[in-house]
A and B are shown apart, each in its own frame.
Chain A
Amino acid sequence: MTEQGVGASLRRKEDARFLHGRGRYVGDIAPRGLLEVAFLRSPVAHARLTGIGKPEGAEERVFAAADLPEIGPIRANSALPGFRASDQPALATGKLRHVGEPIAACLAASRAEAEDLAAACRLDYEPLPAVADMLTARAPGTPLIHEHWPDNAFLETRRDEDLSDLDAVAAAKVVRRLRTARQSMAPLEGRGVLAEWDPRLEQLILTSSTQMPHVTKTGLAECLGLDEGQVRVIAPDVGGGFGYKGILLPEELVCAALAIRLGRPVRWLEDRLESLTAHANCREHHYIVTAWADAGGRLLGAEVDATVDAGAYSCYPFSACLEAAQIGSIFPGPYTLPRFRYRTVSACTNKPPILPYRGVARTGVCYAMETTLDALARKLGLSAEAVRLANLVPPEAMPYRNLVGKVFDSGDYPEAVRRAVAAVDVPRIRARQAAGECVGFGLSVFCEQGAHGTSVYHGWGIPFVPGYEQAQARFTPDGVLELRTGVHSHGQGLETTLAQVAHEVLGVDPARVRLVHGDTALTPYSTGTWGSRAMVMAGGAVAEACRLLGERAIAIGAALLQAEPGTATLRNGAVQAGEASISLDQIARTWFRHPQNLPRDVDKGGLEVTAGYRPDPDTGTHSYACHAVTVRIETETGLVTIEDYVVVEDGGRLVNPMIVDGQVLGGTAQGIGTALYEEMPFDAEGQPLAGTLADYLLPGATEVPSIRIDHMETPSPWTRFGQKGIGESGAIGPPAAIINAINDALAPLGAEVTDLPATPARLLAAIEAAR
């Protein structure tokens, strides 16, 4: 490792612009002649739309579905057997299927005036009974959300295995009913779209706060009937993603169609009310878990019946079933579960369509598995640690293939647990409990599949399958190294970490490396930044492009130095042969400005390389972690205070430990929100009840403790530097560990919390119920 290469906690190159308020987000861009859009949105969860009355005199500034027939529906099907397709109209046609569904676009010179127009529209509809509860969505007699379906479910998946003998042989059996809340991902910057038509290139230029500009481009072209050459998508600075911006938006389609139609720039900026009420779209799971164990805590088998509230439509590109169907494949977690049976349902309801949020289904699955393991531990009189150690995949079994075919690449899972427990004074917590204090200690262990590629995704049959990740590396005439990637950086620090990768390979000073990203016209195609994949995939691609670029530079440099073939090497940003040396800057200058000095057999591709990369196997890296939490509960009010939070994390080789810590800390803060604070309640009519951040509580500086992180660094054998995807990890473990700690504290009262978030009201209700 050098001071700036892979493994260095290099400060971020991108910081300066943000610290001076010079970030450039979509809301900062306002071309001349801009028209702002306010959407008229559905006030009800389920209804037949019978008419839209446009304000008198403003008919040509209000656009409903019938006015924009050029927009085709969004279709995100899955090839999984039994999946039911739902066409999502960009603007409602015929039916309204969730509160906040866009009905018409209202255009004006300012957003305020556009909102005036929306407020002046008249809406005629016949209300239908709302399907607001995923557990009763399929009951006979329930109104159908998509009327050509037999019932309200996108998909059901099963794995059948007869577990009926386990009752007789198990030392303990537990059954738990568990529920996680619907959340809003709530990046601080909402979504936003600016659409322009370039008449010279005959090209739509869509600037969007998106994590996946290339996928958005493909989706736009498909739905608008354009060829992809007619679409350019730009993702400028993006104020947080977390999955919220990994989607093709109805609003993007509408703004694009309007810009093409009107020949004027059109912009929509989502506000917080829209974000909270129209787009609360993640995490809502329900589980019934049955687990059997022997007296030593060894799992004998598990049965899971899981339902996910997938909302009203199937979102592009991830589809409505990714979350629920994944539960079957990831429930066994980091354990050597021997027998397993499951059923998962992607329920269709009158709520906003579900999107994968940081950790995707793992946060719910980890919560279900880990609280169930603690219930087993309590029943068997074993410690939480002992039950984990009895079941974790041992290091000597790596790489390990589990019973549903997941392959874990490397690591010492039990060691993570041992380290986490050793970092906490558990005997002191037990002593405080014995003295009557309501305190508790909880663990969670999980692994996170990241950067899973073609071999995993082709089976889903959803609108995209990640293939080879490409990167371009090229020198400018003055020797600056330009990297171009299709992944997008929106907080992950890729402008820095990919420069570190380039430095590692070429020795170029990271200050002389520029990352170009977030523009489909300038970067190679990529599925984008999602699934903890950027550092593995783009890191590998940048390394390969730089390696090839280095070979070309060496060839030129060797010729200029008149060195024997094969004797020149690249070191510290220069080509060296014996005592002689020539800098990459000089080599670049020669290629671009003094080509007369180039050798005759020079590679005519020059100092510009596009390289592709995919790990082999590409089933994904598995980072893993153990979270260990100490909580204190005020039994009079139900208030939970996190006294201590330890994360032992193994992300393989860390390209930039400071940035990895930032990912773990930020993810954990979000997980604390999932565990204790964040909930978008819906009433029986499907109305969302939290319209501001005073009602939808996000964790602040007083709610997130100073988290202690301990790193293990077991390289992945399959990736370029041994790095593993780790971006989502922090958000997976907190609900399980925190609720386990709460239930440990409540155990003397005989009380147990099962529903997230563990609000004071829910805690007090659990305590009351145990009385």
Chain B
Amino acid sequence: MKPAAFDYARPADWPAALALLAGGARPMAGGQSLGPMLNLRLAQPERVADLRHLPGYAGVEVQGEAIRIGAGTTHAAIEDGAVPGRLGAILAGVARRIAYRPVRNRGTIGGSLAHADPAADWVAVLPAFPGHAVALGPYGERRIPLARFVTGVFETALAPGELLRAIELPVLPETARWSHWKFCRKPGEFSKATACLLALPDAPPRLVLAALDTAPLVIEDATGLDPAALVTSISDPWRRRLALTALRRVLEGAA
């Protein structure tokens, strides 16, 4: 299928992007989720605002104890080591298993997070980090804790007219323990169950269970967690079993 007709705009700066949004344009980052939706006519925007060329949209900056990842940074860049240190190694491992390389070359961390597909990798992984999504609106920037950014299936905490500009994550010590498990029958398939766990020194382990039919489940302190109690609301027996397996694997596997 071919898309319904739409107009295309390429804002040169952030105010122009916000203005387009205010006019009803659909923001597009790498377009790897929106593209198929346009082709299937599941999305029929009147206008698409292509964010890729905004200044500072892509790129990684270390700012003291924080690492700021531009929302337009591609999965491939992260896979290839754009993010430094322990955090970068963790994110690279996640990125490598997103879709396929030609998709990772275009798809972006911010686009994926803002799209908020419950099965998507960044949606599942980023809430494990004590960091923020940086939103830009007409009033300026605001920071939304990653654990509360995705609020539902294809729903986020972004207000109408806001754009996701960057993701801020903490520099991680080399001793940070990380465990991540997802179930796909074949590479690139949407996950049927994802869990991840981040344990920082002197902090309780943070755990996320995702690829559910809700927003990801974030447990700020997974100490003594009973995995079985967490999955009772999943009605499909296989998906429940997978979620349970995901939880058990990450609880055992954090190293």
Q: Is the CB of B190 within 8 A of A760?
A: no
Q: Determine if B241 and A636 form an interchain contact, defined as CB atoms under 8 angstroms apart.
A: yes
Q: Is the CB of B5 within 8 A of A703?
A: no
Report the stretch among A362-370, A373-381, A503-511, A689-697 that lies at the interface.
A689-697
B245-A637 in contact (CB<8A): yes
Q: A700, B186: Cβ atoms under 8 Å?
A: yes
Which residue of A111, A637, A700 is within 8 Å of B187 (Cβ)?
Answer: A700
> Chain A contacts of B183 at CB under 8 A?
637, 639
**Chain A residues positioned under 8 Å from B1 (CB to CB):** 115, 271, 273
- Known contacts A636-B245, A638-B238, A764-B237: A112-B3 contact under CB 8 Å: yes
Q: Which of A662-690 contact B (CB under 8 A)?
A: 677
Instruction: Tell me which of A692, A697, A700, A760 contacts B238 (CB under 8 A).
Output: A760
Q: Is the CB of B186 within 8 A of A637?
A: no
Q: How far is the CA of A116 from the CA of B6 in the complex (A)?
A: 12
Interface residues of A in 726-765 (CB under 8 A from B): 759-761, 764-765
State A765–B36 Cα separation when bound (angstroms).
33
| A-contact bits for B222-255, CB 8 A (1 contact / 0 none) | 0000000000000001100110010000000000
Task: List A contacts of B186 (CB < 8 A).
Answer: 677, 697, 699-700, 702-703
Q: Which residues of A contact B245 (CB under 8 A)?
A: 636-637
B13 interfacial contact with A, CB 8 Å: no
Residue pair B2, A765 in contact (C-beta under 8 Å): no
Given contacts A112-B3, A115-B2, contact A697 B185 (CB under 8 A): yes
Docked pose: A615 CA to B1 CA in angstroms? 46
| Cross-chain contact A639 with B185 (CB below 8 angstroms) | yes
Can you name the residue of chain B whose Cβ is closest to the Cβ of A111?
Answer: B2
Within 8 A of A (CB), among B186-208: 186-190
What distance in Å separates the Cβ of A681 from its nearest Cβ neighbour in chain B? 14
Residue of B nearest to A112 (CB): B2
Distance between Cα atoms of A495 and B183 in the complex (Å): 44
Binary B-proximity of A702-731 (CB < 8 A = 1, otherwise 0):
110000000000000000000000000000
The residue that A273 contacts in the complex, of B5, B40, B185, B242, with Cβ under 8 A, is: B40
Q: Measured between C-beta atoms, what is the minimum distance from B64 to chain A in Å?
A: 41
Check: B53 CB closer than 8 A to any chain A CB: no
Residue in B4, B188, B238, B242 whose beta carbon sits within 8 Å of that of A765 in the complex: B238
- Shortest Cβ distance from residue A37 to the other chain B in the assembled complex, whole angstroms: 13
- For residue B3, which residue of chain A has the nearest CB? A112
User: A691 CA to B37 CA in the complex, in Å?
Assistant: 12
Chain B residues lying within 8 Å of A759, measured Cβ to Cβ, are: 185
Which residues of chain A come closer than 8 Å to B40, judged between CB atoms? Answer: 273, 691-692
A277 CB → nearest B CB, Å? 11
Q: Closest CB-CB distance, A602 to chain B, in whole Å? A: 60
Bound together, the chains give a CA A288 to CA B185 distance in angstroms of 30
Interface residues on chain B, number (Cβ under 8 Å): 20
B241 touches A637 (CB 8 A): yes
- Which of chain B's residues have a CB closer than 8 A to the CB of A147? none
Chain B CB within 8 A of A162 CB: no
Number of A-B contacts (CB under 8 A): 53
**Residues of A close to B3: CB separation below 8 A:** 112
CB interface residues, B 106-138, toward A, < 8 Å: none
How many chain A residues have a CB neighbour from B under 8 Å? 27
Give the shortest distance, in Å, between B181 (CB) and chain A (any CB).
10
A residues less than 8 Å from B5 (CB atoms):
112, 116
Q: Please state if B237 and A765 are interface contacts (CB–CB under 8 Å).
A: yes
**Contacting B185 at CB < 8 Å: which of A111, A119, A692, A760?**
A760
Measured between beta carbons, the chain B residues less than 8 angstroms from A764 are 237-238, 241
Q: Is A564 an interface residue when CB atoms closer than 8 A count as contact? A: no
Residue in B closest to A639 when the chains form the complex, CB atoms: B185
Across the interface, name the chain B residue whose C-beta is closest to A761: B238
Q: How far is the CA of A273 from the CA of B42 in the complex (A)?
A: 13
Instruction: Tell me the bound Cα distance from A639 to B241 in angstroms.
Output: 12
Once A760-B238, A768-B237 are accepted as A-B contacts, the answer to whether A116 and B4 lie under 8 Å apart by CB is: yes
Q: Considering only CB atoms, which chain B residue lies closest to A272 in the complex?
A: B1
- A545-577 interface code vs B (CB 8 A; 1 in, 0 out): 000000000000000000000000000000000
Q: How far is the CA of A384 from the CA of B36 in the complex (A)?
A: 47
| Nearest CB in chain A to that of B246: its residue | A637
CA distance A180 to B188 in the complex (A): 26
Contact of A694 among B190, B238, B242 (CB under 8 A): B190
- Scan residues 1-45 of chain B and give those whose CB is less than 8 A from a CB of chain A: 1-5, 36, 40-41
* A-chain residues with CB within 8 Å of residue B237 when the two chains form the complex: 764-765, 768
Chain A residue numbers with a CB within 8 Å of B41 are: 115, 119
User: Chain B nearest CB: distance from A140 CB in Å?
Assistant: 34
Instruction: Write out the residue numbers on chain A whose beta carbons fall within 8 Å of the beta carbon of B185.
Output: 639, 677, 697, 703, 759-760
On chain A, the residues within 8 Å of B188 by CB distance are 700
Chain A residue at minimum C-beta to C-beta distance from B242: A637
In the complex, the answer to whether A692 meets B241 with C-beta atoms within 8 Å is: no
Q: How far is the CB of B252 from chain A (nearest CB, A)?
A: 12
Q: In whole angstroms, how far apart are the Cα atoms of A637 and B183 in the complex?
A: 8
Q: A576 → chain B, closest Cβ, in Å?
A: 57
A119 to B245, CA, bound (A): 44
CB distance from A555 to the nearest CB of B (A): 60
Do A702 and B4 touch across chains, with their CB atoms under 8 A apart? no
Taking a contact as CB atoms closer than 8 A, the residue among B2, B4, B36, B242 that contacts A692 in the complex is B36
In the assembled complex, how far is the CB of residue A537 from the closest CB belonging to chain B, in whole angstroms? 38
Counting chain B CB atoms within 10 Å of each CB, which of A273, A636, A694, A697 scores highest? A636
Q: A residues within 8 A CB of B2?
A: 110-112, 115
By a CB distance below 8 angstroms, the chain B residues around A115 are 1-2, 41
| A interface footprint on B37-81 (CB within 8 Å = 1, 0 otherwise) | 000110000000000000000000000000000000000000000
Please, which residue of chain B has its CB at the minimum distance from the CB of A700? B186
Beta-carbon nearest neighbor of A640 in chain B:
B185
A112 contacts across to B, CB distance below 8 A: 2-3, 5
| A257-308, CB < 8 A from B | 271, 273
A677 and B238 alpha carbons, distance in the complex (Å)? 16
Nearest CB to that of A274 among chain B residues? B1
**Distance of A192 Cα from B5 Cα, bound (Å):** 24
CB distance from A61 to the nearest CB of B (A): 16
Q: How far is the CA of A271 from the CA of B2 in the complex (A)?
A: 9
Q: Which residues of B contact A702 (CB under 8 A)?
A: 186-187
Chain A 102-125 interface residues, beta-carbon cutoff 8 Å to B: 110-112, 115-116, 119
Most B C-beta atoms less than 10 A away, residue of A637, A639, A764? A637
Nearest CB in chain B: distance from A640 CB, A: 9
- In the assembled complex, the Cα of A759 lies from the Cα of B184 at a distance in Å of 12
Residues on A with C-beta less than 8 A from B242 are 637, 760
The closest CB in chain A to the CB of B192 belongs to A760
Bound complex: CA A512 to CA B238 (Å): 59
Q: A638 — which chain B residues lie within 8 A by C-beta?
A: 238
Which residues of the other chain, A, contact B190 by a CB distance below 8 angstroms? 694
Contact B189 A694 (CB under 8 A): yes
Q: How far is the CB of B120 from chain A (nearest CB, A)?
A: 12
User: Within the assembled complex, what's the spacing in Å between the Cα atoms of A759 and B187?
Assistant: 16
Question: Which residues of B are found within 8 Å of A111, using beta-carbon distances?
Answer: 2
Q: Which residues of B contact A119 (CB under 8 A)?
A: 4, 41
| CA distance in complex: A692, B42 (Å) | 13
Which residues of the partner chain A approach B187 to less than 8 Å between Cβ atoms?
Answer: 700, 702
Cβ of A677: which chain B residues have Cβ within 8 Å of it?
A: 185-186
Chain A, Cβ-Cβ closest to B249: A636
CB distance from B92 to the nearest CB of A (A): 20
Residues of B within 8 A of A765 (CB): 237-238
Question: Contact flags (1/0) for B161-191 with A, using CB distance below 8 Å?
Answer: 0000000000000000000000101111110
Beyond the given A637-B183, A760-B238, A768-B237, could you list 20 further A-B residue pairs with CB under 8 A, ordered by the A residue number? A111-B2, A115-B2, A273-B1, A636-B241, A636-B245, A637-B242, A637-B245, A638-B238, A677-B185, A692-B36, A697-B189, A700-B186, A700-B187, A702-B186, A703-B185, A759-B185, A760-B185, A760-B242, A761-B238, A765-B238
Q: What are 9 A-B pairs at a CB distance below 8 A?
A: A111-B2, A115-B1, A273-B1, A637-B245, A677-B186, A692-B36, A692-B40, A700-B187, A759-B185
5 closest A-B pairs (Cβ-Cβ)? Answer: A112-B2, A761-B238, A636-B245, A764-B238, A111-B2
